[in-house]
Amino acid sequence: MHELSIALSILDLVEREAQRHGAVEVRAVHLKLGPLAGVVHKALLSAYGLACEICARPDCRLVIEETPILGDCPVCGGPQGVVSAQEMRCTICGTPITAVVGGRELEITAMEMVP
Amino acid sequence: MTNHPRLVQVRQQVLKHNDVVARALRRRCAAAGVFVVSLVSSPGSGKTTFLEATLAALGRSRRVAALVGDLATDNDARRLARSGAPVRQIVTGAVCHLEAQMVQDALADWRLEDLDFLFIENVGNLVCPASYDLGENLRAVLFSVTEGEDKPQKYPTIFNTADLAVITKLDLAAAVEFDAAAAAASLAGVRPGMKVFQVSAKTGQGMSAWLEFLQASAPAQLAPAASCSEKRHL
């Protein structure tokens, strides 16, 4: 349960970016979250609500975009989708992947700022 | 008049601070010629016993030290100190994992040049440590034969951030009817091709292969080797 610490880190970055851009208000923060980031979507949303109260930013929504797990397939080449985190095989040919190239994202991509 | 929000593109890793500290640690350790290995597992998987045996055996020919994280008590540090190696406890309080800053603080007054290997035993937890790069060169995930063969399937993320797996308490395998083939299949599912060691720190079974692997890994570390934990943000 480290989602509260993650949520506080997100709001810390929101604060800094808001200052850097001279925004008076941040309506939303957009986050890319991969299944292999070690952060649970629902738990993060709950923790984020609490973190907003702590940081006095009650009106800043957290918008989460879930990204897929991608792996290098030795047969099909390039990043390919995988069956699941439990079955790291290429969805096209079923060959086990050789490396994870996507799915570990925990990254802020955009913020909705006023003005 | 209502101000309409503008969408500002921002590319910021949420754990940027941790990653920055971890990278600095990795550089510092590389410059000092110390190879850093972290251990993660659930509580009770035998991390401390495994590390105690590793420190004692490796310490005969190489200079070794350890940091050990726990929510409370310095019991593990006292156990590990019996090996004769320098050991420092990191008490995390309510924090369920180690972060790079905690490692940096614990190492602040250490002369890393006096070491060949530094081991970091994380807090017993198969979830949260997955998110934090500690600046290690190698992350080992441990699970014991008593925990069930499907542990990797239940906690795929931590197995994905680790470079290798160690199956521990092999001396109990027969008693708990451990199915080695099922464990191998579970691991292969979450991490195809993952290197696996099977050991009993108690009897010494399998320890020599692990120790030889460590000895062989360290000299290659002239440039900072990127562990899986560092490759999170590809």
Cα torsion angle, B45, B51, B56, B60, sign = positive
Q: Is B8 on the interface with A (CB under 8 A)?
A: yes
**The predicted structure's pLDDT at residue A1:** 67
Read off the pLDDT of each residue in A69-97 and give the average, rounded to a whole number.
96
Chain B residue numbers touching A87 (CB-CB < 8 A): 189
**Cross-chain Cβ contact A9/B14 below 8 Å:** yes
Can you list the domains of chain B with their CATH numbers? 16-219 (3.40.50.300)
Residue-wise pLDDT for B58-69, tens only, equals 999 999 999 999
Range of the domain at A36: 3-68+103-114
What Rg do the C-alpha atoms of chain A give, in angstroms? 17
Total domains in chain A come to 1
Q: How do the pLDDT tens digits run along chain B, 234 residues long?
A: 467 899 999 999 999 999 999 999 999 999 999 999 999 999 999 999 999 999 999 999 999 999 999 888 888 889 988 889 999 999 988 888 999 999 999 999 999 999 999 999 999 999 999 999 999 999 999 999 999 999 999 999 999 999 999 999 999 999 999 999 999 999 999 999 999 999 999 999 999 999 999 999 886 544 445 566 665 443
Please report the residues numbered 151 through 170 in chain B whose beta carbons come closer than 8 angstroms to any beta carbon of chain A: 153, 156-158, 160-161
Read off the pLDDT of each residue in A8-20 and give the average, rounded to a whole number.
93
**The predicted structure's pLDDT at residue B234:** 33
CB atoms within 10 A of CB A22: 8
Residue A85 pLDDT exceeds 60: yes
- The answer to whether position A40 is within a domain reads yes
Chain A residue numbers touching B6 (CB-CB < 8 A): 112-115
Q: Is A110 on the interface with B (CB under 8 A)?
A: yes
Q: Which of B231, B202, B201, B217 is nearest to B37 (CA)?
A: B217
For position A38, which CATH number holds? 3.30.2320.50
**The predicted structure's pLDDT at residue A55:** 85
- The answer to whether position A98 is within a domain reads no
For residues B173 and B167, the answer to whether their CB atoms sit within 8 Å is no
- The answer to whether position A34 is within a domain reads yes
User: Tokens for B177?
Assistant: 């009817």
Among B11, B161, B193, whose Cβ lies nearest the Cβ of A98?
B193
CA of B193: which chain A residue's CA is closest?
A: A98
The ipTM value here is: 0.88
Residue A16 pLDDT exceeds 70: yes
